[in-house]
Structure 1
Amino acid sequence: MDNNNEAIIISSLDLQRIEELLEQPQYRDAAGTASLRAELERANVLDPAKMPANVVTMNSTVTVEDESGGGRREISLVYPRDADSAANKVSVMAPVGSAMLGLQVGQSINWQVPGGRALRLRVVDISYQPEASGELHR
Structure 2
Amino acid sequence: MSDSMVVSWLDLERLERVLDRLSPAQARARDALLGELEHAQLVEPWEMPPDVVTMNSRVRFRVAGASEEETMTLSYPNDMQDTAERLSVLTPAGMALLGVRVGGRMSWQQPDGPHEATVLGIEHQPEPAKR
- Please, which of 115, 118, 122 is the counterpart of residue 119 of structure 1? 115
Following the alignment from structure 2 to structure 1, what is the Cα–Cα distance between the partners of residues 59 and 51? 10
- Equivalent residue, structure 1, for 2:97: 100
- Please, which of 63, 70, 74 is the counterpart of residue 71 of structure 2? 74
- Offset of 1:93 from its aligned partner? 1.3
Aligned residue identity for 1:131: E
Aligned residue identity for 1:98: M
* Pair 1:10-2:2 in alignment: no
* Pair 1:34-2:67 in alignment: no
Structure 2: stretches of 5+ with no match in the other structure = none
Percent sequence identity is 35
- Please, which of 101, 110, 135 is the counterpart of residue 130 of structure 2? 135
Return the TM-score normalized by structure 1.
Answer: 0.84
Return the TM-score normalized by structure 2.
Answer: 0.88
* Aligned residues between the structures: 130
CA RMSD of aligned residues (A): 1.9
Retained in 2: the 8 A contact 1:7–1:39? no
- Offset of 1:67 from its aligned partner? 2.3
Structure 1: stretches of 5+ with no match in the other structure = none
